[in-house]
């Protein structure tokens, strides 16, 4: 084989930490080990039947060709209606771009905003892909640790801003902590954003998965609409992870540039998938409500279990994750995730990928059945006793 040196751009980024954890569990399972997966951020529910039916129909009716690169107008209209109905947000179809997944949405947004050497403030713990995507586009992520209960520390965010800072990347309901920031905190961030002339990329992919309190979209905070690019998607709300569909909305001048990036890369997400997503938005509200109800029960069950085990965690208000500190209960905290998998067959994601200072934490995804959650709790309790 010929020698190959990857370009510098690629040397800066790593494999996905979350996918790596899931891969290890898959390997063990293939060897016959009974593993409970609490690693992937993927709802265990099937994609709602009406969405699948629409995709079939669309394929049979010939929706197998190129369509508008910004996304089907019918879908962008449905997204626009949905944003109005659920959050009181006003975005016209031409202020929305449909993307192949929210991850690609983050990539597009950062590509459209950042120059080589720019800095992006990333409050941590954070979804690991933010660091890698920022580096991939030639910019630098600047981590700002959150407080004891994962609250945003706005003073520290302000202190981290330099003349190179271009944007703040927010994500709530948060992966990995499940925290939903309240309006007051977001207003404090907005005040800094305004004063320093920054942009905000707000990843709100879990915005429909909220169990307590109220979700405030960042673009709804006064004067923030023109400075905010919001990333959202279908993976989590409609259990459509494999369909690869998301969307971005923001001010028209940025959306125009984002569209250029899509035109020169993906062109657009699959046409029939977009058609199916119209059904998701227009006809599947009852599925979302049932899923949220079920997630709330699972969250409460796991929360009680974790507290019984001695974790000092707060109850997360949204998404489907816990991010406990293993040091609360285990002497070798940095290896908790690894030991739990080897000795108890429970797969979680180690905290190290979510930011500096979170090596003793681990992420639990409770997007799995109640039976598996109960069994996982029993296994964890037994593991901690021995």
With CB under 6 A as the contact rule, which of the stretches 31-39, 100-108, 148-156, 287-295 interacts with ligand PLP? 100-108
Peptide bond preceding 125 in cis form (omega within 30 of 0):
yes
Comparing C-alpha atoms, which of 374, 377, 310 is closest to residue 344? 377
Q: Is 101 in the site for ligand PLP (CB under 6 A)?
A: yes
Among 246, 269, 345, 350, binds ligand PLP (CB under 6 A): 246
Q: Is 43 in the site for ligand PLP (CB under 6 A)?
A: no
Among 55, 91, 96, 103, binds ligand PLP (CB under 6 A): 103
Comparing C-alpha atoms, which of 161, 175, 84 is closest to residue 128? 175
Q: Is 70 in the site for ligand PLP (CB under 6 A)?
A: no
> For residues 335 and 360, what is the distance between their CA atoms, to the nearest angstrom?
8
Ramachandran angles phi, psi of 235, nearest 5°: -55, -50
Q: What is the DSSP track for 254-300?
A: HHHHHHHHHHTTT-SS-HHHHHHHHHHHHH-HHHHHHHHHHHHHHHH
Residue number with the shortest CB distance to ligand PLP?
101
Q: How far is CA 74 from CA 50, 54, 232, 238, in A?
A: 17, 14, 17, 18
CB nearer to ligand PLP: pick between 169 and 377: 169
Among 43, 71, 217, 233, binds ligand PLP (CB under 6 A): 233
Q: Residues with Cβ < 8 Å from 65, sequence gap 6 or more?
A: 271
Helix axis angle, 102-113 relative to 129-136, nearest 10°?
40
Question: Alpha helix locations (H) across the chain?
Answer: 8-11, 17-30, 49-60, 73-87, 102-113, 129-136, 154-160, 183-196, 252-263, 271-283, 285-309, 336-344, 370-385
With CB under 6 A as the contact rule, which of the stretches 79-87, 96-104, 270-278, 298-306 interacts with ligand PLP? 96-104
Q: Is 367 in the site for ligand PLP (CB under 6 A)?
A: no
Comparing C-alpha atoms, which of 144, 131, 174, 163 is closest to residue 13? 131
Site for ligand PLP in 126-145 (CB under 6 A): 127
Q: Is 241 in the site for ligand PLP (CB under 6 A)?
A: yes
Among 35, 79, 83, 102, binds ligand PLP (CB under 6 A): 102
Q: Is 71 in the site for ligand PLP (CB under 6 A)?
A: no
Site string for ligand PLP, 209-228 (x = CB under 6 A): --------------------
Tokens of 233: 């998607």
User: How near is the Cβ of 155 to ligand PLP at its closest, in Å?
Assistant: 25
> For residues 105 and 121, what is the distance between their CA atoms, to the nearest angstrom?
18
CB nearer to ligand PLP: pick between 171 and 368: 171
Tokens of 316: 């997360």
CB nearer to ligand PLP: pick between 41 and 125: 41
User: Is the C-alpha dihedral spanning 325, 328, 331, 337 positive or negative?
Assistant: negative
Q: Is 205 in the site for ligand PLP (CB under 6 A)?
A: yes
Q: How far is CA 53 from CA 48, 98, 275, in A?
A: 9, 21, 11
Count, residues near ligand PLP per rule CB under 6 A: 13
Site string for ligand PLP, 147-176 (x = CB under 6 A): ------------------------x---x-
User: How near is the Cβ of 260 to ligand PLP at its closest, in Å?
Assistant: 20
CB nearer to ligand PLP: pick between 237 and 330: 237
Q: Residues with Cβ < 8 Å from 155, sequence gap 6 or more?
A: none
With CB under 6 A as the contact rule, which of the stretches 75-83, 98-106, 187-195, 340-348 interacts with ligand PLP? 98-106
User: How near is the Cβ of 320 to ligand PLP at its closest, in Å?
Assistant: 10
CB nearer to ligand PLP: pick between 127 and 295: 127
Residues that bind ligand PLP (CB under 6 A): 41, 101-103, 127, 171, 175, 203, 205, 233, 235, 241, 246
């Amino acid at each position: 084989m010929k020698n190959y040196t990857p370009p510098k751009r690629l040397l800066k980024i790593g494999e996905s930490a979350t996918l790596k954890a899931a891969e290890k569990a898959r390997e063990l399972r293939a060897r016959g080990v009974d593993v409970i997966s609490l690693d992937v951020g993927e709802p265990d529910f099937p994609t709602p039947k009406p969405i699948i039916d629409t995709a079939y129909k669309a394929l049979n009716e010939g929706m197998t060709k190129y369509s508008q690169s910004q996304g089907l107008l019918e879908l962008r209209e449905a997204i626009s209606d949905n944003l109005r109905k659920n959050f009181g947000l006003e975005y016209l179809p031409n202020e929305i771009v449909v993307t192949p997944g929210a991850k690609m949405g983050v990539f597009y947004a950062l590509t459209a905003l950042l120059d080589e050497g720019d800095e992006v403030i990333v409050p941590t713990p954070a979804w690991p892909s933010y660091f890698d995507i920022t580096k991939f586009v030639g910019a630098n992520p600047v981590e700002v640790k959150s407080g004891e209960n994962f609250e945003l520390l706005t003073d520290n965010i302000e202190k981290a801003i330099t003349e190179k800072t271009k944007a703040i990347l927010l994500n709530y309901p948060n992966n990995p902590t499940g925290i939903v920031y309240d309006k007051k905190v977001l207003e404090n961030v907005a005040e800094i954003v305004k004063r320093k002339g920054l942009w905000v990329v707000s990843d709100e992919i879990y915005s429909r998965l909220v169990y307590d309190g109220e979700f405030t979209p960042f673009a709804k905070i006064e004067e923030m609409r023109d400075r905010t690019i919001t990333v959202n998607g279908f993976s989590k709300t409609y259990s459509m992870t494999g369909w690869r569909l998301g969307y971005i909305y923001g001010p028209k001048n940025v959306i125009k540039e984002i569209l250029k990036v899509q035109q020169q890369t993906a062109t657009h997400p699959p046409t029939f998938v977009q058609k199916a997503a119209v059904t998701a938005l227009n006809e599947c509200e009852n599925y979302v409500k049932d899923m949220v109800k079920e997630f709330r029960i699972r969250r409460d069950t796991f929360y009680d279990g974790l507290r019984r085990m001695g974790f000092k965690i707060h109850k997360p208000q949204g998404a489907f994750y816990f991010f406990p500190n293993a040091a609360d209960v285990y002497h070798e905290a940095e290896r908790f995730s690894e030991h739990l998998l080897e000795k108890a067959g429970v797969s979680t994601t180690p905290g190290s990928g979510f930011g500096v200072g979170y090596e003793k934490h681990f992420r639990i995804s409770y997007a799995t059945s109640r039976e598996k959650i109960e069994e996982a709790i029993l296994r964890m309790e037994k593991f901690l006793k021995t």
